[in-house]
Amino acid sequence: SRMLGGEIEVESEEGKGSTFHCFIIVEKGKALPYAFEYLPKDNTATTLQILVAEDNLLNRKLILTGLKNIGYQADSVTNGYEVLEACEKKTYDLIFMDVQMPEMDGLEATKLLVNRPNGVHRPCIVALTANAFPEDKSAALQAGMDDYLVKPVKLELIQQLLYKLEYEKKHCEVLEK
């Protein structure tokens, strides 16, 4: 976030959780990508089944740790073949899919998941990529991905995305403005 002229602060209290504050400078008139509107009703374990597909060990650990810090557990795999295998064994609500992985990349795995027969559960698929070029985003969306996050991914964006999915899965309270 320093590249954007911003900073990140964290407050953590054992047994209660962590609060992350992200401050960035945006051009006047530009809308921020997400608005924080939904929070789960309770602090019990969430019901989202999450898979992280990332071949880089450090990136994988960062994402899994970030998810754990905001109350989400996730499974992880390292390539597209393993994504398909995991989806045969378990029904996932969300897959964080690295675009560039060995053996089978995230685009190919997404196309195969999206084109499964009718009646087979289709997870929400979010691209994780180091590339911020419009053509990369376009390729991800054309493959069937639902959203697109550029690495390093800000935890606040992941949190908002998860809360939105959680809201759709089980009704949550809308915070009073």
Give the Cα separation of 144 and 87 in Å (integer). Answer: 16
Please, is 100 exposed, middle or buried when counting C-beta atoms within 10 Å of its C-beta (0-12, 13-18, 19+)? middle
Give the Cα separation of 49 and 101 in Å (integer). Answer: 22
Report the percentage of the chain scoring pLDDT > 70.
75
Give the Cα separation of 135 and 141 in Å (integer). Answer: 10
Tell whether pTM > 0.85.
Answer: no
pLDDT tens for residues 19-43?
776 666 655 544 444 444 444 445 4
Closest alpha carbon to 4 in 24, 34, 31: 24
pLDDT greater at residue 173 or residue 104: 104
Contact (Cβ atoms closer than 8 angstroms) between residue 113 and residue 84: yes
pLDDT tens for residues 57-97?
999 999 999 999 888 999 999 999 999 999 999 999 999 99
Mean of all residue pLDDT scores within the chain: 79
How many other CB atoms are there within 10 angstroms of residue 51's CB atom? 21
Give the Cα separation of 5 and 83 in Å (integer). Answer: 36
